[in-house]
């Protein structure tokens, strides 16, 4: 007779979202800005500056962090609307955001096609069309335009926003589930992840192939971020505060560093037995290998333990550019994709010397920082003026 009340108390406790304190969390902006900078750099082929990015030193990279933070932010923002105003207003805002991302994807595709096509003709370099997978569009424009509008055709470096769009479209269902049964949503996400890996679930691309970021697998990051923002962090506190976390996490991060470097240096590869090396190389990004998930999970747990929300350095001017790039993430990301192509074009047409690689990398990050500052400034001056007190005149 006492089992039912106990079960109901557990169910109700699990269903109550525990949201972070209201207000801007600069940690999210910081890491999202870092991810955007890294994505820009990593999308410049044969760029020596890429060696300063985390892609070369561990299993997960900026894309993993980007999707996780996107899930966290979506839950942080829209769950408050859902709890305060209801399911419909929250869903409307989410769909509006998904539409905004979709429009960005289409505009980016148009800029890609126009820019690459023009430069390939102007400088007699048809290889640009092949490198960026645009040649199919010029060969079959009507078919490929339809495929691009339905997110089935994606030129090089334009793979992650379509996944983000799909995840935002199902975000209302995810948030509703997190209100009803948070643990069940997380278990379902993990089950879908392993099922997709086992049965090779993926979406088809046009005219051939599959999505580079398998949405059935990458949804795990988005849902995990949403779960972490709506109570998962509280539930994880025993693990975050555990004395065993730090040595275990550091050991795994060092192991990931060594295995990643072994994939790039043959002299280091021979140190390891074949079965061990083959288990982690090549790094399975499309279907999100479990060791990537564990890698990011350890990073998130360490950040949650050692980087408090009110960490004073977050207010330092030196971090302001990257934080602003995180706050204006969509504009910075899409502009960075196009700037990475421009940087590659300069390296091909002018010179690919090290000094030029550094120059185009620094110039690109500078332009992204200026863009984020400009958008922040415009948003600030567009805010409505405060209503004057009764009986007073503005400016009196």
pLDDT of 225-272, one tens digit each? 999 999 888 899 999 999 999 999 999 999 999 999 999 998 899 899
* Measured torsion, CA atoms of residues 115, 121, 127, 130, in degrees rounded to the nearest 10: 50
User: Do the domain assignments include residue 241?
Assistant: yes
Q: What is the pLDDT of residue 387?
A: 57
Q: Which of 19-23, 69-73, 251-255, 371-375 has the lowest mean pLDDT?
A: 19-23
Angle between helices 87-122 and 329-349 (to 10 degrees): 10
Q: Would the pTM of this model clear 0.85, i.e. be above it?
A: yes
User: Do the domain assignments include residue 117?
Assistant: yes
Peptide bond into 207 cis (omega under 30): yes
By C-alpha distance, which of 258, 267, 262 is closest to 282? 262
User: Do the domain assignments include residue 341?
Assistant: yes
User: Do the domain assignments include residue 9?
Assistant: no
User: Do the domain assignments include residue 14?
Assistant: no
User: Do the domain assignments include residue 109?
Assistant: yes
Of all residues in the chain, the percent with pLDDT exceeding 70 is: 92
Q: pLDDT band at residue 159, thresholds of 50, 70 and 90? A: very high
User: Do the domain assignments include residue 219?
Assistant: yes
By C-alpha distance, which of 276, 279, 258 is closest to 268? 258
Asked whether the beta carbons of 230 and 174 are under 8 A apart, the reply is no
- The angle at the Cα of 326, spanning 323 to 328, to the nearest 5 degrees, equals 115
- The boundaries of the domain holding residue 302 are 21-373
Q: pLDDT band at residue 2, thresholds of 50, 70 and 90? A: very low
Q: What is the pLDDT of residue 46?
A: 87
Q: pLDDT band at residue 386, thresholds of 50, 70 and 90? A: low
Asked whether the beta carbons of 374 and 335 are under 8 A apart, the reply is no
How many residues in the chain?
A: 396
Asked whether the beta carbons of 287 and 217 are under 8 A apart, the reply is yes
SS3 content of the chain, % helix, strand, coil (to 5): 75, 0, 25
Structure tokens at 368: 């992204």
DSSP category for residue 388 = P
Domains contained in the chain, number: 1
Quick: pLDDT tens for 133-155.
787 888 888 898 899 999 999 88
User: Do the domain assignments include residue 379?
Assistant: no
């Amino acid at each position: 007779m006492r089992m039912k009340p106990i079960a109901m108390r557990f169910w109700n406790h699990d269903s109550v979202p525990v949201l972070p304190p209201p207000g801007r969390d600069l940690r999210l902006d910081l890491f999202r800005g870092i991810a955007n900078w890294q994505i820009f750099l990593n999308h410049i082929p044969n760029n020596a500056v890429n060696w300063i990015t985390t892609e070369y030193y561990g299993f997960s990279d900026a894309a993993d962090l980007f999707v996780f933070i996107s899930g966290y932010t979506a839950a942080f923002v829209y769950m408050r609307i859902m709890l305060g105003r209801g399911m419909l207003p929250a869903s409307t805002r989410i769909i509006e955001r998904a539409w905004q991302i979709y429009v960005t994807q289409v505009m980016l595709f148009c800029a890609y096609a126009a820019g690459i096509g023009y430069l390939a003709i102007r400088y007699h370099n048809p290889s640009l069309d092949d490198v960026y997978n645009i040649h199919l569009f010029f060969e079959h424009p009507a078919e490929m335009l339809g495929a691009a509008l339905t997110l089935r055709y994606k030129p090089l470096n334009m793979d992650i926003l379509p996944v983000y769009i799909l995840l935002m479209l199902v975000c209302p269902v995810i948030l509703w589930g997190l209100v009803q049964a948070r643990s069940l949503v997380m278990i379902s996400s993990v089950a879908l992840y392993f099922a997709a890996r086992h049965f090779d679930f993926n979406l088809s691309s046009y005219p051939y192939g599959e999505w580079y970021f398998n949405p059935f697998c990458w949804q795990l990051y988005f849902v995990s971020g949403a779960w972490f923002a709506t109570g998962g962090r509280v539930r994880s506190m025993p693990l975050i505060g555990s004395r065993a976390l730090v040595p275990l996490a550091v050991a795994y991060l060092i192991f990931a560093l060594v295995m990643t470097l072994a994939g790039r240096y043959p002299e280091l590869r021979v140190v390891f037995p074949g079965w061990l090396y083959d288990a982690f190389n090549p790094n399975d990004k499309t279907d999100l290998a479990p060791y990537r998930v564990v890698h990011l999970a350890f990073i998130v747990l360490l950040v949650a333990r050692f980087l408090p929300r009110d960490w004073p350095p977050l207010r330092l001017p030196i971090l302001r550019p990257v934080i602003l790039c995180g706050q204006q993430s969509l504009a910075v990301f899409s502009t960075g994709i196009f700037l990475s192509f421009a940087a590659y074009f300069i390296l091909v047409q002018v010179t690919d010397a090290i000094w030029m690689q550094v120059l185009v990398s620094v110039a690109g990050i500078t332009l992204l920082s200026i863009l984020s500052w400009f958008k922040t400034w415009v948003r600030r001056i567009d805010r409505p003026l405060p209503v004057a007190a009764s009986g007073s005149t503005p400016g009196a």
